[in-house]
Copies of this chain bind each other. A is one copy, B any other.
Amino acid sequence: MEEKLKKMKQLLGEIADLRAASSIMSWDQLVNMPEGGAKDRGEQIATIEAITHLKATSEEMGLLLDDLKPFQEQLDADSDDARLIKVTRRNYDKQTRVPADFVAEFARVSTVAQSVWEKAKAKSDFESFRPHLEKLVEMRRQYAGFFKPWVHVYDPLLDDFEPGMKTMEVQEIFNQLRPKQVELIRAIGEKEQVERSFLFLDYSEKAQWDFGMEIITKFGYDWSHGRQDKSAHPFTTSFGLNDVRITTRFKPNYLPTAMFGTMHECGHALYEQGINKKYNRTSLADGASMAVHESQSRMWENLIGRSKSFWVFFYPRLKEIFPNQLDNIDVDTFYKGINAVEPSLIRVEADEATYNLHIMLRLEMEIALMEGSLLVKDAPAVWNQKFKEYLGILPPNDEKGILQDIHWAFGGFGYFPTYALGNLVSAQLWEKMQAELPDLEDLIGKTEFEPVLAWLRKNVHVHGAKYEPQELVQKITGSKITPEPYIRYLEKKFSEIYGL
């Protein structure tokens, strides 16, 4: 049995190496590659991914998992090996339930759809994208079909991003959250808007870069196991647990983009850098779920980076770097400015109070599309109507409405809710951390991030993908994912800022 386990680990190691190869090639494509290399790079990645899929779904792997079943049952169910076999089995079953020709066909359809979407978005022309979206919706419904029986057609899609989590759980959480958030935004809307024009001055890229580096170095980002580069869209990627890289982007006339983007990606990277090194090159060398991952990026970006304590140290530093731009702005004005709440059209630019509403709208539409109760042709009208209802604005066109995100164009239904769940988890973990580190705000004010990172390492990071997200959150906080802490956090913060 030890031999078989060793063999499985060896196979998982090879799969991890192949995945790392794809990731390195994708990172290079987004960070370094000359434009002329694009076509070849597409083929190179496709070849590696095909080989990876063959290995991950091989009969050899299936037989090993079958053989290891009795062994797993003898082990302590919470031991690393038992969990490794369990997670590997889950991944294997998910991948082998889907026929290879479906996978290939879906890859083709979604590649075409993405390029059509790009043009459709530029021209705000939903109609040209419609047949592609219809095909993707149909194929995702088919995909869900491979995982029958289920309670809800959306369950298998959600499960790809949040292992073990059910549609109904997410709906319940969002149903509690929605009225509170809508009410908060309404209340803020009645108050005078805070000043923030100073964020839109000319901020040199070089100085922005250096400031971001200073922040994340203090956060504890490990430069001997990572690096930061520039790319069109910021992202985090890892090639095993010992090389976890982030990217950022700059807007010369808007300070928050790079600053908070860098903190956000650093949050993701700290998670990956903190996973138990023993799990390297196995199925456990990953985050617990997208939501848990997002909880880490959002925590460093928002609960820390957009907190008042954070700027006790960093605002004087920032003023040293940009004395002209921030000359007459005191720390309180700055703090309010970076936390301004204003319903807006674009999700990725949304503030903390409105962000989740963008997500809820998408989730409702995804569920309806999957159920078949909403047809693609009616989706733009429904989008606009819901947007008006939740955020009080009517999108002027589809480019700034239903076409704004790439997710549906690659068929990524099930992905969006993880962003909002991540926000909730970040606050839920934060309350627990505050209880265990009573001087938390003080530590942040003094840039002593070690205890914060140590707490996250011990409670969240080290476990990697060993636990399912609900299980992990329960284990740490004593309850499954719940919206109350996030609601408390929002209400406290914005009551103070807007004098509600």
Q: Does A220 contact B (CB under 8 A)?
A: no
Known: A17-B48, A24-B24. A40 touches B240 (CB 8 A): yes
Query: Is A336 in contact with chain B by the CB < 8 A criterion?
Result: no
**A43 close to B (CB within 8 Å):** yes
Interface 9-mer from A25-33, A205-213, A323-331: A25-33
Interface flag for A165 (CB, 8 Å):
no
Interface residues of A in 43-62 (CB under 8 A from B): 43-44, 46-48, 51
- Does the CB pair B34–A224 fall under 8 Å? yes
Q: Which residues of B contact A227 (CB under 8 A)?
A: 32, 34
Contact in complex: B222, A36 (CB < 8 Å): yes
Between A and B, 19 residue pairs with Cβ closer than 8 Å are A13-B43, A14-B47, A17-B43, A18-B48, A18-B51, A20-B44, A21-B44, A28-B28, A34-B224, A34-B225, A36-B224, A36-B225, A37-B239, A37-B243, A39-B242, A40-B239, A40-B241, A40-B242, A41-B243
Query: Quick check: is A281 within 8 A (CB to CB) of the other chain?
Result: yes
Query: Which residue on B lies nearest to A44, using beta carbons?
Result: B17
Question: Which residue on B lies nearest to A225, using beta carbons?
Answer: B36
User: Across the interface, which residues of B come within 8 angstroms of A222, CB to CB?
Assistant: 36
Number of copies: 2
A73 at interface, CB cutoff 8 A: no
Per-residue CB proximity of A449-464 to B under 8 Å, as 1/0?
A: 0000000000000000
**A280 in contact (CB, < 8 A):** yes
Total contacting residues, chain A, CB less than 8 A: 37
Please, which residues of chain B bring their CB within 8 A of the CB of A32?
Answer: 227
The closest CB in chain B to the CB of A48 belongs to: B21
A236-253 residues at the B interface, CB under 8 angstroms: 239-243
Instruction: For A273, give the chain B residue with the smallest CB separation.
Output: B36
- A405-446 residues with Cβ-Cβ distance < 8 A to B are none
Q: In the assembly, what is the distance between CA of A43 and CA of B240, in Å?
A: 10
Chain A stretch 294-332: residues in CB contact (< 8 A) with chain B: none
State in angstroms the CA–CA spacing of A419 and B25 once bound together. Answer: 32
Give the contacts of A79-138 with B (CB-CB under 8 A): none
Complex: A323 Cα to B396 Cα, angstroms: 59
Q: Which of B36, B37, B47, B242 contacts A36 (CB 8 A)?
A: B242
A165-202 residues with Cβ-Cβ distance < 8 A to B are none
| Inter-chain contact A239/B17, CB cutoff 8 Å | no
Residue among A33, A35, A47, A223 having the largest count of chain B Cβ atoms under 10 Å: A47
Residues of B near A243 (CB, < 8 A) are: 33-34, 36-37, 40-41
> A337 at the A/B interface (Cβ < 8 Å)?
no
Check: A164 CB closer than 8 A to any chain B CB. Answer: no
Cβ-defined contact, A44 with B239, below 8 A: yes
* B residues near A13, Cβ cutoff 8 Å: 43, 47
Q: What residues of B have a CB within 8 angstroms of the CB of A34 in the complex? A: 223-227, 243
Determine which of B21, B44, B51, B225 lies in contact with A37 in the assembled complex, contact meaning CB atoms within 8 Å.
B225
| Distance in Å: Cβ of A255 to nearest Cβ of chain B | 28
- Could you tell me if A37 and B242 are in contact, using CB atoms closer than 8 angstroms? yes
Report whether A44 and B240 are in contact in the complex, using a CB–CB cutoff of 8 Å: yes
- Taken together as a complex, chains A and B put the C-alpha atoms of A43 and B226 apart, in Å, by 18
Which residues of B are found within 8 Å of A48, using beta-carbon distances? Answer: 17-18, 21
Nearest B-chain residue to A223, judged by Cβ: B34
Complex CA–CA separation, A28 to B21 (angstroms):
11
> Which of B18, B35, B41, B240 contacts A239 (CB under 8 A)?
B41
Q: How far is the CB of A23 from chain B (nearest CB, A)?
A: 10
